[in-house]
Structure 1
Amino acid sequence: MAIRELDALDRRILYTLQAEARRTSSNDVAAELDVSASTVRNRIQRLEADGVIRGYHADVDYEATGHQLFTLIVCTAPIPDREELAAAAADVDGVVEVQEVMTGEGNVLVQAIGVDGDDLSRIGEELDELGLRVSDEDLIRNTHRSPYSRFRTATEEE
């Protein structure tokens, strides 16, 4: 993947979208940055086309949907099989996110939801059947996100 050079406007657009993509319009960003809305729209389209912006995702409160258990399952996959096993893990019912980690132990992190312990046991068993060794499971209480602060200050630095 080619690295795309970001200028101050690109970085500020990314910061704004990370902070609140759903409630931010091109006009809002344009007014804040003193550029036209069409410039902002064109930049966003280019960032999407270049793979810098890979998507827009809903932040779901799983507890509000009846899934009281939100868990992080730490797994280990053989290095040559890590990518394939992580992709397969994403297809397990109840799995909502899978991350590949660049270490030998605990190199696949699986976030899963369930309504009860039986759901989580089933998910663990299915991950095991895929060839992932489950080494730890932790219930997640809350998740906190923040946009990357260097994108916010990009216009101030230049």
Structure 2
Amino acid sequence: MTLQGLDELDRRIIYELQRDARHVSSRDIAADVSASPSTVRKRIQRLEDEGIVRRYGADVDYGRAGYQLFVQIVCTAPIPERDRLCEEASGVDGVVGVRELATGERNVVVTVVGEDGDDLTRIARELSALGLTIAEEQLIRNDASLPYAGFDSPTTPDRVRR
């Protein structure tokens, strides 16, 4: 399924799930878009089955959870090995995100958490041992994931933007 295959209801469901999947129900979404809760539930199931909605997760404050270091490690991976290296990097203890970039020499970004510098050193060594070349490490102060506003249809009557 592509963006062209998504209708206004699909886009609104995606927006609401991105905004706060834990606290929005199919009944809430249905009331907003004048659809039945069962229709919304079926659409959510279809979006999951099609791989458009891939997972639901918690937004964790790592500092409050005891991990004072939240770091982005920018790496270079040989193009033929990039997919495999990203997969293997996701298995390193302390890695909480792996982003594969399509262009540029610095083509893998690994997000990690650690309690101290020793954790970061261990993680960097493990990533290097996999075959990733570390270009730089950046301490993250704050990170936010936001719902894509393009899914929040402005054509819905009486829609209140959040």
Partner of 2:108: 108
CA RMSD in angstroms comes to: 1.4
The 1:10–1:154 alpha-carbon spacing in structure 2 relative to 1, beyond 3 Å, is: farther
Partner of 1:54: 54
- Number of residue equivalences: 156
Partner of 2:2: 3
Verify: 1:71 aligned to 2:71, yes or no: yes
* 3-state SS of paired residue (2:63): helix
Q: Distance in 1 between matches of 2:6 and 2:43?
A: 10
Structure 2-normalised TM-score? 0.92
Partner of 2:45: 45
Q: By how many angstroms is 1:154 displaced?
A: 5.5
* Residue ranges of structure 1 left out of the alignment (5+ in a row): none
* 3-state SS of paired residue (1:122): helix
Verify: 1:35 aligned to 2:35, yes or no: yes
The 1:154–1:63 alpha-carbon spacing in structure 2 relative to 1, beyond 3 Å, is: same
Check the 8 A contact 1:12/1:155 in 2, yes or no: no
String of CA shifts for 1:28-77, please: whole Å, max 9, x gaps: 00111111000100100010111111010111111111100000000000
Q: By how many angstroms is 1:156 displaced?
A: 4.0
The 1:136–1:99 alpha-carbon spacing in structure 2 relative to 1, beyond 3 Å, is: same
Structure 1-normalised TM-score? 0.94
Check the 8 A contact 1:11/1:154 in 2, yes or no: no
